[in-house]
Chains A and B, each alone.
Chain A
Amino acid sequence: MTTTSPVCAPSPSPATRPGTAVVTGIGVAAPNGFGTAAWWAAVLRGESGIGPITRFDASGYPVRLAGEVPGFVAADHVSSRLLPQTDRVTRLSLAVAREALDDAGVDPAGLPDYGAGVVTASSAGGFEFGQRELQALWSRGSRYVSAYQSFAWFYAVNTGQISIRHGLRGPSGAVVSEQAGGLDAVAQARRQIRRGTPLMITGGVDSALCPWGWAAHLADGRLSTADDPAVAFLPFDAGARGHVVGEGGALFVLEEAEAARERGAAVYGSIAGCAATFDADGSAHLADAARLALADAGVTRHDIDVVFADAAGDRAADRAEAAAIAGLFGRFGVPVTAPKSMAGRLLAGGASLDLAAALLALRDQVIPPTTGTRRPADDCPIDLVTGAPRRGVRLRTALVLARGQGGFNAAAVVSRAD
Chain B
Amino acid sequence: MKHLDLSELTALLRECAGQEEGVDLDGDVLDTPFTDLGYDSLAMLQTTGRIERDYEVTLDGIVDGAGTPHAYLDAVNRALAAQEAA
Contact between A and B in the complex (any CB pair below 8 Å): yes
CB-based nearest B residue for A146: B46
In the complex the two chains form, is A148's CB within 8 Å of B46's CB? Answer: yes
In the complex the two chains form, is A80's CB within 8 Å of B20's CB? Answer: yes
Chain B residues near A85: list those with CB within 8 A. 17, 42, 46
In the complex the two chains form, is B49's CB within 8 Å of A148's CB? Answer: no
How far apart are the CA atoms of A80 and B39 in the complex, in Å? 12
- Nearest 4 pairs between A and B by C-beta? A80-B18, A147-B46, A81-B18, A147-B45
In the complex the two chains form, is A84's CB within 8 Å of B46's CB? Answer: yes
How far apart are the CA atoms of A254 and B46 in the complex, in Å? 37
A126 CB to closest chain B CB, in angstroms?
15
29 A/B residue pairs, CB under 8 Å, sorted by A: A79-B18, A79-B20, A79-B21, A80-B18, A80-B19, A81-B17, A81-B18, A81-B20, A81-B38, A81-B43, A82-B18, A84-B15, A84-B16, A84-B17, A84-B18, A84-B46, A85-B42, A85-B46, A143-B49, A143-B52, A144-B53, A146-B46, A146-B49, A147-B42, A147-B45, A147-B46, A147-B49, A148-B42, A148-B46
In the complex the two chains form, is A80's CB within 8 Å of B21's CB? Answer: yes
Chain A residues near B18: list those with CB within 8 A. 79-84
Chain B residues near A82: list those with CB within 8 A. 18
**Residue in contact with A143 in the complex, picked from B19, B45, B53, CB distance below 8 Å:** B53
How far apart are the CA atoms of A79 and B18 in the complex, in Å? 8
Chain A residues near B16: list those with CB within 8 A. 84
Interface of B, helix, strand, loop or mixed by DSSP: helix
Chain B residues near A83: list those with CB within 8 A. 18
Contact residues of A with B, CB < 8 Å? 79-85, 143-144, 146-148
Chain B residues near A81: list those with CB within 8 A. 17-20, 38, 43
Chain B residues near A147: list those with CB within 8 A. 42, 45-46, 49
A151 CB to closest chain B CB, in angstroms?
9
Name 7 extra pairs, CB < 8 A, besides A81-B18, A144-B53: A79-B20, A80-B21, A81-B17, A82-B18, A146-B46, A146-B49, A147-B45
How far apart are the CA atoms of A396 and B40 in the complex, in Å? 50
Contact residues of B with A, CB < 8 Å? 15-21, 38, 42-43, 45-46, 49, 52-53
How far apart are the CA atoms of A143 and B54 in the complex, in Å? 11
B71 CB to closest chain A CB, in angstroms?
20
How far apart are the CA atoms of A159 and B5 in the complex, in Å? 38
How far apart are the CA atoms of A83 and B53 in the complex, in Å? 22
Chain A residues near B46: list those with CB within 8 A. 84-85, 146-148
Chain B residues near A144: list those with CB within 8 A. 53
How far apart are the CA atoms of A147 and B40 in the complex, in Å? 12
Chain A residues near B19: list those with CB within 8 A. 80-81
How far apart are the CA atoms of A85 and B18 in the complex, in Å? 9
A394 CB to closest chain B CB, in angstroms?
50
B36 CB to closest chain A CB, in angstroms?
14
B55 CB to closest chain A CB, in angstroms?
12
A137 CB to closest chain B CB, in angstroms?
13
B25 CB to closest chain A CB, in angstroms?
11
CB-based nearest B residue for A143: B53
CB-based nearest B residue for A82: B18
Chain A residues near B49: list those with CB within 8 A. 143, 146-147
How far apart are the CA atoms of A81 and B42 in the complex, in Å? 11
Chain A residues near B15: list those with CB within 8 A. 84
How far apart are the CA atoms of A82 and B43 in the complex, in Å? 10
B42 CB to closest chain A CB, in angstroms?
6
How far apart are the CA atoms of A148 and B52 in the complex, in Å? 16
Chain A residues near B53: list those with CB within 8 A. 143-144
B28 CB to closest chain A CB, in angstroms?
21
Chain B residues near A79: list those with CB within 8 A. 18, 20-21
Chain A residues near B45: list those with CB within 8 A. 147
Chain B residues near A143: list those with CB within 8 A. 49, 52-53
Chain B residues near A84: list those with CB within 8 A. 15-18, 46
CB-based nearest A residue for B41: A147
How far apart are the CA atoms of A84 and B45 in the complex, in Å? 13
How far apart are the CA atoms of A85 and B43 in the complex, in Å? 9
